[in-house]
Amino acid sequence: MKTIKGPGIFLAQFMGDKPPFNNLKSICLWAETLGFAGVQIPSWDSRCIDLQRAAESQSYADEIRGIVESCGLQITELSTHLQGQLVAVHPAYDDQFDGFAPESVRGNSKARTEWAVQQLKWAARASRNLGLDAHATFSGALLWHTVYPWPQRPAGLVETGFRELANRWRPILDVFDENGVDLCYEIHPGEDLHDGVSYEMFLEKVDNHPRACLLYDPSHFVLQCLDYKAYIDHYHERIRMFHVKDAEFNPSGKQGVYGGYQGWLDRAGRFRSLGDGQVDFKSIFSKLAAYDYKGWAVLEWECALKHPEDGAAEGAVFIKDHIIRVTEKAFDDFAGGGSDEKLNRKVLGLE
């Protein structure tokens, strides 16, 4: 067994225009003062990184890594959540997702997809140059508008959708494989990969690609009423990343999973700061330790109530307190009698 690395923090929700949140070094110094050991970097934020340069220049990647390490931290992973979303977008969402892309490709879905695919390929090479072995992204969605089967889905629709999704991602997965990096899909509502069954359908279409791995975030499963602990039992061999994020689901006589079009504050299901929600993190950290999870535990702060800086400060302590330093010996070793094959056979009545 190995002790989970951490605590880390995903910088996406904290970047801003004012110090210390406006450049990589200053936000890393801030994170280190809170007790974090690593940072997960949003690759779309130019205040943190130039993704293309990191992919094409080892010296630039070394510079980025040096900035983080000079602050007493490590880079946990890069993220292309926004770019991954754009690998597959149903036309109904074009206008809403155009904001994730540069102006040069907005209003042109084909060009936007090509841009997104290139971003993912750069992310694979940048991750390698930074010495990383896992990467976070979204799958995008062609089928999400049909998630509830009314009107009735045409026969073969789901199969066609997943076949197309796999065709778009297979070349990207191959580039990640060439660079020795696991591509970890965050299983998330709004994505075609939003639960275990949908992930398995995708995995089958990409021929069980060894790099098609998982980012585990229990908060999204609480909001779907999915057994987030049993999920680990099913998929632990593919889990390479871990977002530590809390959530709560409080259905009423007026509102359930779908949320009644309400904002986050008024939804039955909403994200919370660590310790303020319903996720059983003690069991999660125990399961991941038992299954020999080798990656980082990274705080992703999303909360409708608490200030982000308070959520970050509390989150660092929360993760640190939940990481289990795994044992190197059995608790009953003191009573052991050593290894003796003759004795073993005698105990079994074979002598």
pLDDT in tens, 176-210: 999 999 999 999 999 999 999 999 999 999 999 99
At residue 338, does pLDDT exceed 80? no
pLDDT band at 335 (very low <50, low <70, confident <90, very high): confident
φ, ψ of residue 123 to 5 degrees: the values are -60, -35
Quote the pLDDT of residue 333.
Answer: 76
3 state SS of 9: strand
The whole-number pLDDT of residue 351 equals 77
- Kindly report, residue by residue over 17-73, the tens digit of the pLDDT: 999 999 999 999 999 999 999 999 999 999 999 999 999 999 999 999 999 999 999
pLDDT tens-digit series, residues 200-247: 999 999 999 999 999 999 999 999 999 999 999 999 999 999 999 999
Task: Collect all residues with Cβ–Cβ distance below 8 Å to 148 and sequence separation of at least 6.
Answer: none
Residue 12 phi, psi (nearest 5): -55, -45
Q: Which tens digits make up the pLDDT trace of 126-147?
A: 999 999 999 999 999 999 999 9
Assess whether pLDDT exceeds 80 at residue 6. yes
Question: What's the confidence (pLDDT) of residue 236?
Answer: 98
DSSP state of 91: G
Q: What is the pLDDT of residue 332?
A: 77
Whole-model pTM: value is: 0.96
pLDDT of residue 30: 98
Segment (H or E) for 5: strand 5-10
Residue 165: pLDDT over 90 = yes
SS3 14: coil
> Domain boundaries in the chain?
5-347
163 pLDDT tier (thresholds 50, 70, 90): very high
With beta carbons less than 8 A apart as the criterion, state whether 274 and 298 touch. Answer: no
Nearest to 47 by CA among 72, 77, 14: 14
Query: Which of 92, 120, 134 lies closest to 298, judged by CA?
Result: 134
CB atoms within 10 A of CB 49: 22
Q: Which two tokens stand for residue 341?
A: 């094959």
Average pLDDT over residues 263-270: 97
Contacts of 229 (CB under 8 A, 6+ apart): 280, 283, 284, 287
Give burial (CB, 10 Å; 0-12/13-18/19+) of 138. Answer: buried
Average pLDDT (302-319) is 97
Please report the sign of the dihedral spanned by the C-alpha atoms of residue 132, residue 17, residue 191, residue 105.
negative
Interval 88-128: pLDDT, tens: 999 999 999 999 999 999 999 999 999 999 999 999 999 99
Mean pLDDT over the full length of the chain = 97
| Amino acid residing at 236 | H
Separation between Cα atoms, residue 44 and residue 79, nearest integer Å: 8
The whole-number pLDDT of residue 153 equals 97
What is residue 110's predicted lDDT score, i.e. its pLDDT? 98
CA distance 128 to 106: 30
The pair of three-digit structure tokens given for residue 9, joined into one six-digit string: 């923090």
The answer regarding whether domain 5-347 maps to CATH 3.30.565.10 reads no
pLDDT grade, residue 308 (50/70/90)? very high
DSSP 229-267: HHHHHHHTTTEEEEEE-EEEE---SS--TTGGG--GGG-
Residue 343 pLDDT class (50, 70, 90 cuts): confident
pLDDT, residue 310, reads 98
Mean pLDDT of 317-346: 86
Q: Which residue has the tokens 């919370």?
A: 272
Average pLDDT over residues 152-156: 97
